[in-house]
Structure 1
Amino acid sequence: MSYSLVFTRLEIPADDELALRWVKNKFQAHYDDERAPHSIFQRLHDALVDRFPCLSTLPEHERDDAVWVDGPLINNFSHDLAIVAFHFTRVEDVMPFVVETALKVGCTVFDLQGMNVYRPKHDSRN
Protein backbone atom coordinates (compact mmCIF):
# COMPACT_ATOMS: atom_id res chain seq x y z
CA MET A 1 0.00 0.00 0.00
CA SER A 2 1.31 3.45 -0.84
CA TYR A 3 0.78 7.10 0.03
CA SER A 4 0.97 9.74 -2.69
CA LEU A 5 1.67 13.45 -2.71
CA VAL A 6 1.22 15.80 -5.64
CA PHE A 7 3.23 18.98 -6.19
CA THR A 8 2.76 21.99 -8.41
CA ARG A 9 4.72 25.14 -9.12
CA LEU A 10 1.68 26.84 -10.69
CA GLU A 11 -0.75 29.31 -9.14
CA ILE A 12 -3.70 27.50 -7.60
CA PRO A 13 -7.10 28.59 -6.26
CA ALA A 14 -6.95 30.16 -2.79
CA ASP A 15 -9.74 27.93 -1.51
CA ASP A 16 -8.48 24.45 -0.55
CA GLU A 17 -11.56 22.63 -1.85
CA LEU A 18 -11.23 24.35 -5.23
CA ALA A 19 -7.48 23.72 -5.23
CA LEU A 20 -8.01 19.99 -4.66
CA ARG A 21 -10.46 19.88 -7.58
CA TRP A 22 -8.03 21.92 -9.68
CA VAL A 23 -5.17 19.46 -9.18
CA LYS A 24 -7.33 16.42 -9.95
CA ASN A 25 -8.17 18.04 -13.30
CA LYS A 26 -4.44 18.40 -14.08
CA PHE A 27 -3.53 14.70 -13.92
CA GLN A 28 -4.04 13.87 -17.59
CA ALA A 29 -1.99 16.88 -18.68
CA HIS A 30 0.75 15.71 -16.31
CA TYR A 31 0.85 12.25 -17.88
CA ASP A 32 0.80 13.73 -21.39
CA ASP A 33 3.51 16.33 -20.68
CA GLU A 34 6.73 15.40 -22.48
CA ARG A 35 8.68 18.47 -21.37
CA ALA A 36 11.61 18.10 -19.00
CA PRO A 37 10.91 18.68 -15.32
CA HIS A 38 10.98 22.34 -14.33
CA SER A 39 14.10 23.42 -12.42
CA ILE A 40 12.04 23.68 -9.21
CA PHE A 41 11.08 20.03 -9.59
CA GLN A 42 14.64 19.04 -10.40
CA ARG A 43 15.76 20.63 -7.11
CA LEU A 44 12.94 18.88 -5.26
CA HIS A 45 13.78 15.54 -6.83
CA ASP A 46 17.47 15.89 -6.03
CA ALA A 47 16.76 16.72 -2.37
CA LEU A 48 14.34 13.81 -2.02
CA VAL A 49 16.67 11.20 -3.47
CA ASP A 50 19.59 12.61 -1.52
CA ARG A 51 17.69 11.77 1.66
CA PHE A 52 15.83 8.67 0.43
CA PRO A 53 17.63 7.02 -2.52
CA CYS A 54 15.72 6.34 -5.71
CA LEU A 55 14.50 2.77 -6.03
CA SER A 56 16.21 2.46 -9.40
CA THR A 57 19.63 3.22 -7.90
CA LEU A 58 19.46 0.63 -5.14
CA PRO A 59 21.00 -2.82 -5.41
CA GLU A 60 18.41 -5.56 -5.85
CA HIS A 61 18.83 -6.79 -2.26
CA GLU A 62 17.94 -3.33 -0.84
CA ARG A 63 14.86 -2.61 -2.93
CA ASP A 64 12.40 -4.20 -0.51
CA ASP A 65 13.42 -1.59 2.07
CA ALA A 66 13.14 1.38 -0.30
CA VAL A 67 10.91 4.33 0.56
CA TRP A 68 9.64 4.99 -2.98
CA VAL A 69 7.23 2.60 -4.68
CA ASP A 70 8.62 3.13 -8.19
CA GLY A 71 11.60 4.45 -10.04
CA PRO A 72 13.29 6.19 -11.58
CA LEU A 73 11.59 8.78 -9.41
CA ILE A 74 12.38 11.59 -11.87
CA ASN A 75 9.89 9.99 -14.28
CA ASN A 76 7.11 11.20 -11.95
CA PHE A 77 8.11 14.84 -12.43
CA SER A 78 6.75 16.84 -15.37
CA HIS A 79 7.04 20.54 -16.11
CA ASP A 80 4.07 21.69 -14.04
CA LEU A 81 3.21 18.77 -11.74
CA ALA A 82 4.95 15.99 -9.87
CA ILE A 83 3.55 12.94 -8.12
CA VAL A 84 5.50 10.77 -5.70
CA ALA A 85 4.37 7.66 -3.91
CA PHE A 86 6.04 6.08 -0.91
CA HIS A 87 5.23 3.05 1.17
CA PHE A 88 2.44 3.66 3.66
CA THR A 89 4.54 2.13 6.44
CA ARG A 90 7.01 5.02 6.01
CA VAL A 91 4.51 7.92 6.15
CA GLU A 92 5.61 9.13 9.59
CA ASP A 93 9.28 9.54 8.69
CA VAL A 94 8.99 10.40 4.98
CA MET A 95 6.01 12.73 4.67
CA PRO A 96 7.22 15.55 6.97
CA PHE A 97 10.54 15.75 5.12
CA VAL A 98 8.90 15.63 1.69
CA VAL A 99 6.36 18.34 2.52
CA GLU A 100 8.94 20.60 4.19
CA THR A 101 11.38 20.21 1.30
CA ALA A 102 8.72 20.91 -1.33
CA LEU A 103 7.59 24.05 0.48
CA LYS A 104 11.19 25.27 0.74
CA VAL A 105 11.68 25.07 -3.03
CA GLY A 106 8.37 26.87 -3.64
CA CYS A 107 5.97 24.04 -4.45
CA THR A 108 2.42 23.64 -3.28
CA VAL A 109 1.78 20.15 -1.91
CA PHE A 110 -1.49 18.26 -2.27
CA ASP A 111 -2.22 15.37 0.07
CA LEU A 112 -5.21 13.87 -1.70
CA GLN A 113 -5.60 11.07 0.82
CA GLY A 114 -5.67 13.46 3.77
CA MET A 115 -7.45 16.15 1.68
CA ASN A 116 -4.87 18.77 2.70
CA VAL A 117 -3.14 21.54 0.76
CA TYR A 118 0.23 22.82 1.97
CA ARG A 119 1.30 26.14 0.48
CA PRO A 120 4.71 27.81 0.48
CA LYS A 121 4.88 30.88 2.73
CA HIS A 122 5.97 33.03 -0.19
CA ASP A 123 5.51 32.62 -3.90
CA SER A 124 8.92 31.65 -5.28
CA ARG A 125 7.65 29.95 -8.42
CA ASN A 126 9.48 30.52 -11.70
Structure 2
Amino acid sequence: MLIYILREINIPRTEINVWETVSYYFQKDKKQLSNEFQDFHDRLTYKYPCLSESSDTVWGDGPLINNFGDKVACIDLIIGFSKEEEKKSIQALNYIVSLATEFNFDLYLEGTNKIIRPNKVARKYDQLTSKGIILALILMSLFNISDHVYNIENEIPFKPTGGKRAIVDVAFYGIAKVCIKVVDYDTLQFILKNITIIVIIWYLYDIYNYFIFKRRSQYLIRSSKKFRRN
Protein backbone atom coordinates (compact mmCIF):
# COMPACT_ATOMS: atom_id res chain seq x y z
CA MET A 1 0.00 0.00 0.00
CA LEU A 2 1.36 3.37 -0.99
CA ILE A 3 1.14 6.25 1.45
CA TYR A 4 1.83 9.74 0.17
CA ILE A 5 2.93 12.34 2.69
CA LEU A 6 2.23 15.93 1.74
CA ARG A 7 4.13 18.91 3.12
CA GLU A 8 2.73 22.42 2.58
CA ILE A 9 0.44 21.23 -0.20
CA ASN A 10 -3.16 22.30 0.20
CA ILE A 11 -5.54 20.08 -1.73
CA PRO A 12 -9.14 21.33 -1.32
CA ARG A 13 -11.79 19.02 0.12
CA THR A 14 -13.80 19.63 -3.06
CA GLU A 15 -11.06 18.13 -5.24
CA ILE A 16 -12.61 15.29 -7.28
CA ASN A 17 -9.50 13.57 -8.65
CA VAL A 18 -7.31 13.56 -5.55
CA TRP A 19 -5.01 10.83 -6.85
CA GLU A 20 -4.26 12.74 -10.06
CA THR A 21 -3.43 15.86 -8.04
CA VAL A 22 -1.17 13.94 -5.63
CA SER A 23 0.51 12.12 -8.52
CA TYR A 24 1.13 15.42 -10.30
CA TYR A 25 2.86 16.92 -7.26
CA PHE A 26 4.88 13.73 -6.69
CA GLN A 27 6.16 13.61 -10.28
CA LYS A 28 6.89 17.33 -10.24
CA ASP A 29 8.69 17.26 -6.87
CA LYS A 30 12.31 16.74 -7.88
CA LYS A 31 13.81 19.24 -5.51
CA GLN A 32 16.30 18.54 -2.75
CA LEU A 33 15.11 16.72 0.34
CA SER A 34 13.60 19.17 2.84
CA ASN A 35 14.88 19.30 6.42
CA GLU A 36 11.44 18.43 7.78
CA PHE A 37 11.22 15.32 5.62
CA GLN A 38 14.75 14.35 6.65
CA ASP A 39 13.71 14.51 10.32
CA PHE A 40 10.50 12.65 9.53
CA HIS A 41 12.43 9.91 7.70
CA ASP A 42 15.03 9.57 10.45
CA ARG A 43 12.44 9.12 13.18
CA LEU A 44 10.40 6.73 11.04
CA THR A 45 13.35 4.49 10.16
CA TYR A 46 14.68 4.60 13.74
CA LYS A 47 11.50 2.82 14.86
CA TYR A 48 10.98 0.78 11.67
CA PRO A 49 14.35 0.16 9.93
CA CYS A 50 14.70 0.76 6.20
CA LEU A 51 14.65 -2.25 3.86
CA SER A 52 18.23 -1.40 2.89
CA GLU A 53 19.27 -1.99 6.51
CA SER A 54 17.09 -4.93 7.52
CA SER A 55 14.95 -7.52 5.75
CA ASP A 56 12.68 -7.74 8.79
CA THR A 57 10.73 -4.58 8.04
CA VAL A 58 7.30 -3.30 7.00
CA TRP A 59 8.54 -1.36 3.98
CA GLY A 60 8.12 -2.60 0.40
CA ASP A 61 11.18 -0.90 -1.06
CA GLY A 62 14.35 0.90 -0.08
CA PRO A 63 16.32 2.94 0.51
CA LEU A 64 13.25 4.73 1.81
CA ILE A 65 14.97 8.10 1.62
CA ASN A 66 14.91 7.91 -2.18
CA ASN A 67 11.15 8.40 -2.09
CA PHE A 68 11.35 11.68 -0.17
CA GLY A 69 11.45 15.05 -1.90
CA ASP A 70 10.79 18.62 -0.90
CA LYS A 71 6.99 18.59 -0.76
CA VAL A 72 5.94 14.96 -1.29
CA ALA A 73 7.13 11.62 0.05
CA CYS A 74 5.91 8.15 -0.93
CA ILE A 75 6.10 5.17 1.41
CA ASP A 76 5.36 1.60 0.35
CA LEU A 77 3.88 -0.10 3.40
CA ILE A 78 3.42 -3.88 3.25
CA ILE A 79 0.36 -5.16 5.09
CA GLY A 80 0.87 -8.90 5.42
CA PHE A 81 -1.62 -11.74 5.40
CA SER A 82 -0.87 -13.16 8.84
CA LYS A 83 -2.35 -11.53 11.93
CA GLU A 84 1.11 -10.86 13.32
CA GLU A 85 2.32 -9.16 10.12
CA GLU A 86 -0.90 -7.19 9.80
CA LYS A 87 -0.67 -6.02 13.41
CA LYS A 88 2.91 -4.82 12.91
CA SER A 89 2.00 -2.99 9.70
CA ILE A 90 -1.04 -1.31 11.22
CA GLN A 91 1.13 -0.17 14.13
CA ALA A 92 3.54 1.31 11.60
CA LEU A 93 0.64 3.03 9.83
CA ASN A 94 -0.56 4.50 13.13
CA TYR A 95 2.97 5.70 13.84
CA ILE A 96 3.08 7.41 10.43
CA VAL A 97 -0.20 9.15 11.27
CA SER A 98 1.19 10.17 14.67
CA LEU A 99 4.35 11.63 13.08
CA ALA A 100 2.28 13.39 10.40
CA THR A 101 0.23 14.99 13.18
CA GLU A 102 3.38 16.21 14.90
CA PHE A 103 4.92 17.58 11.68
CA ASN A 104 1.61 18.99 10.41
CA PHE A 105 1.70 16.85 7.25
CA ASP A 106 -1.31 15.55 5.32
CA LEU A 107 -1.63 11.98 4.09
CA TYR A 108 -3.05 10.29 1.04
CA LEU A 109 -3.65 6.54 1.20
CA GLU A 110 -3.65 4.75 -2.10
CA GLY A 111 -7.14 4.02 -3.40
CA THR A 112 -9.11 6.13 -0.91
CA ASN A 113 -9.38 9.30 -3.06
CA LYS A 114 -9.33 11.24 0.21
CA ILE A 115 -6.79 13.43 1.96
CA ILE A 116 -6.34 12.61 5.64
CA ARG A 117 -5.47 15.61 7.77
CA PRO A 118 -4.50 14.11 11.15
CA ASN A 119 -3.25 17.43 12.47
CA LYS A 120 -6.70 18.89 11.92
CA VAL A 121 -8.15 16.20 14.20
CA ALA A 122 -5.62 17.12 16.89
CA ARG A 123 -6.37 20.84 16.48
CA LYS A 124 -10.10 20.18 16.75
CA TYR A 125 -9.50 18.29 20.00
CA ASP A 126 -7.39 21.15 21.40
CA GLN A 127 -10.05 23.66 20.37
CA LEU A 128 -12.76 21.51 21.94
CA THR A 129 -10.82 21.25 25.20
CA SER A 130 -10.11 24.99 25.31
CA LYS A 131 -13.72 25.85 24.55
CA GLY A 132 -14.91 23.52 27.31
CA ILE A 133 -12.64 25.17 29.87
CA ILE A 134 -13.68 28.68 28.79
CA LEU A 135 -17.40 27.87 28.86
CA ALA A 136 -17.06 26.23 32.30
CA LEU A 137 -15.30 29.33 33.67
CA ILE A 138 -17.95 31.63 32.19
CA LEU A 139 -20.80 29.60 33.72
CA MET A 140 -19.05 29.44 37.09
CA SER A 141 -18.61 33.21 37.00
CA LEU A 142 -22.25 33.82 36.11
CA PHE A 143 -23.50 31.62 38.95
CA ASN A 144 -21.06 33.28 41.32
CA ILE A 145 -22.54 36.65 40.38
CA SER A 146 -26.00 35.16 40.88
CA ASP A 147 -25.06 34.15 44.42
CA HIS A 148 -23.97 37.71 45.17
CA VAL A 149 -27.30 39.01 43.81
CA TYR A 150 -29.10 36.67 46.21
CA ASN A 151 -26.97 37.90 49.12
CA ILE A 152 -27.61 41.54 48.25
CA GLU A 153 -31.38 40.97 47.99
CA ASN A 154 -31.42 39.25 51.39
CA GLU A 155 -29.04 41.82 52.92
CA ILE A 156 -26.41 39.22 53.73
CA PRO A 157 -23.11 41.03 54.45
CA PHE A 158 -20.42 40.72 51.79
CA LYS A 159 -17.35 38.88 53.09
CA PRO A 160 -14.63 38.44 50.43
CA THR A 161 -12.26 35.51 50.76
CA GLY A 162 -8.60 36.11 51.43
CA GLY A 163 -5.66 36.24 49.05
CA LYS A 164 -5.91 36.72 45.29
CA ARG A 165 -9.42 35.29 45.31
CA ALA A 166 -10.61 38.45 47.12
CA ILE A 167 -10.03 40.55 43.97
CA VAL A 168 -12.30 38.23 41.98
CA ASP A 169 -14.96 38.28 44.70
CA VAL A 170 -14.95 42.07 44.80
CA ALA A 171 -15.28 42.21 41.01
CA PHE A 172 -18.19 39.74 41.00
CA TYR A 173 -19.85 41.63 43.85
CA GLY A 174 -19.57 44.89 41.91
CA ILE A 175 -21.15 43.29 38.83
CA ALA A 176 -23.92 41.83 41.02
CA LYS A 177 -24.74 45.30 42.39
CA VAL A 178 -25.18 46.53 38.83
CA CYS A 179 -27.27 43.49 37.84
CA ILE A 180 -29.66 43.82 40.76
CA LYS A 181 -30.73 47.24 39.46
CA VAL A 182 -31.95 45.55 36.28
CA VAL A 183 -33.10 42.07 37.31
CA ASP A 184 -34.06 40.22 40.50
CA TYR A 185 -32.56 36.95 41.70
CA ASP A 186 -35.35 34.63 40.48
CA THR A 187 -35.32 36.13 37.00
CA LEU A 188 -31.51 35.93 36.89
CA GLN A 189 -31.64 32.25 37.90
CA PHE A 190 -34.15 31.56 35.14
CA ILE A 191 -31.91 33.29 32.58
CA LEU A 192 -28.80 31.46 33.79
CA LYS A 193 -30.49 28.05 33.66
CA ASN A 194 -31.54 28.65 30.07
CA ILE A 195 -28.05 29.90 29.15
CA THR A 196 -26.58 26.78 30.77
CA ILE A 197 -28.88 24.49 28.77
CA ILE A 198 -28.00 26.29 25.52
CA VAL A 199 -24.26 26.16 26.27
CA ILE A 200 -24.39 22.44 27.13
CA ILE A 201 -26.32 21.61 23.94
CA TRP A 202 -23.91 23.74 21.89
CA TYR A 203 -20.89 22.03 23.43
CA LEU A 204 -22.36 18.54 23.01
CA TYR A 205 -22.98 19.36 19.36
CA ASP A 206 -19.30 20.35 19.00
CA ILE A 207 -18.28 17.07 20.66
CA TYR A 208 -20.52 15.17 18.25
CA ASN A 209 -18.97 16.94 15.25
CA TYR A 210 -15.47 16.22 16.57
CA PHE A 211 -16.11 12.48 16.89
CA ILE A 212 -17.78 12.35 13.48
CA PHE A 213 -14.72 14.05 11.95
CA LYS A 214 -12.35 11.77 13.88
CA ARG A 215 -14.22 8.62 12.89
CA ARG A 216 -14.14 9.63 9.23
CA SER A 217 -10.36 9.99 9.39
CA GLN A 218 -9.98 6.71 11.29
CA TYR A 219 -12.26 4.96 8.81
CA LEU A 220 -10.03 6.01 5.93
CA ILE A 221 -7.04 4.59 7.76
CA ARG A 222 -8.76 1.34 8.74
CA SER A 223 -10.33 0.84 5.33
CA SER A 224 -6.88 0.98 3.76
CA LYS A 225 -6.25 -2.54 5.13
CA LYS A 226 -8.39 -4.02 2.37
CA PHE A 227 -5.67 -3.12 -0.15
CA ARG A 228 -3.32 -5.71 1.33
CA ARG A 229 -4.78 -8.35 -1.00
CA ASN A 230 -4.79 -6.15 -4.11
Query: Which TM-score band (shorter chain)?
Result: 0.7 to 0.9
User: Where does structure 1 lack aligned partners over 5 or more consecutive residues?
Assistant: none
Aligned residues: 112
Q: Distance in 2 between matches of 1:19 and 1:12?
A: 14
- On the 8 A contact 2:60/2:76 being kept in 1, the answer is yes
Out of 54, 58, 64, the position equivalent to 1:67 is 58
Give the 5 Å matches for 1:17-96: 17-18=15-16, 20=18, 21-30=20-29, 33=30, 35-58=31-54, 63=55, 65-89=56-80, 90=86, 91-96=89-94
Match of 1:107 in 2: 105
- The TM-score with structure 2 as length reference comes to 0.44
- 1:48 is displaced (CA, Å) by 0.7
After superposition, the C-alpha distances for 1:26-50 in whole angstroms (9 at most, x for unaligned) are 23213xx1x3211111111011101
| Structure number with higher helix proportion | 2
Give the root-mean-square deviation of aligned CA atoms.
2.0
Q: Distance in 1 between matches of 2:17 and 2:41?
A: 23
Q: Distance in 2 between matches of 1:16 and 1:53?
A: 37
Which secondary structure state, in structure 2, belongs to the residue aligned with residue 48 of structure 1?
helix
Q: Distance in 2 between matches of 1:19 and 1:80?
A: 19
C-alpha spacing 1:46/1:18, structure 2 compared with 1 (3 Å): farther
- The TM-score with structure 1 as length reference comes to 0.77
The structure with the largest alpha-carbon Rg is 2
Q: Distance in 1 between matches of 2:106 and 2:95?
A: 14
| Structure number with higher strand proportion | 1
Percent identity of paired positions between Structure 1 and Structure 2: 27
Structure number with higher relative contact order (C-alpha < 8 Å, ≥ 6 residues apart):
1
Match of 2:13 in 1: 15
User: Where does structure 2 lack aligned partners over 5 or more consecutive residues?
Assistant: 81-85, 124-230
